[in-house]
Amino acid sequence: MMGTGHFLIIFTLAYSSISRAGEPAWWTQEKQKCGLPAGLAYNTWQSQGSPCHKGGGSSGVDITKGIFDSIEAARTAEKQRAAMEAQERAERERQQEIEDEARKQRLQSEMMDVEKSGELGLMMDSVGPAAEN
C-alpha cells in the first residue's frame, strides 16, 4: 500500500513528464544552449529573430548585451536630439534678438528723419494756431 508521500512523488514525476512532453527535446536543449528563459515559447523566440542563431550563435550574455547596447543607443540618440533642439532654440532666440535690434534701429532712424525734416515743427505750428482760435 502506498502512502501519501509516494503518491506525491509519482504525481510530480508524471506531471514533469507531461509538461516536457508538450515541448520537443531539441527546443529544450536550444533554450539551455542559448541561455534563454525556460518558459520562452518557440514562436516568441522566432518573432525575436531567433537570437541564438544570429552571427553563428550567441549566448544569453550576448542577448543581454544586445539589449543593453540598444538601450544605450536610445539614450545617446535622445541626448543628441535634446542637444539639437537646444541649439535650434538658441539660434531662434539669436535671430529674434537680431530682428528686434534691426526694428529698434529702424524706428530710431525714422524718428531722427522726422526731427531733421522739420515735420515735427510744422505739426506743432499747425496745432499752435488752431489752439489759439
Here the cell at position 14 is 508524471
Q: What is the pTM of this model?
A: 0.36
CA–CA separation, 121 vs 96, rounded Å? Answer: 35
Q: Which residues contact 25 (CB under 8 A, 6 or more apart)?
A: none
Identify which has the larger pLDDT, 87 or 66: 87
CA–CA separation, 15 vs 2, rounded Å? Answer: 18
Q: 80-122, pLDDT tens digit by residue?
A: 999 999 999 999 999 999 999 999 999 988 888 776 666 555 5
Q: 16-48, pLDDT tens digit by residue?
A: 444 455 788 888 888 888 878 888 888 888 888
Here the cell at position 76 is 545617446
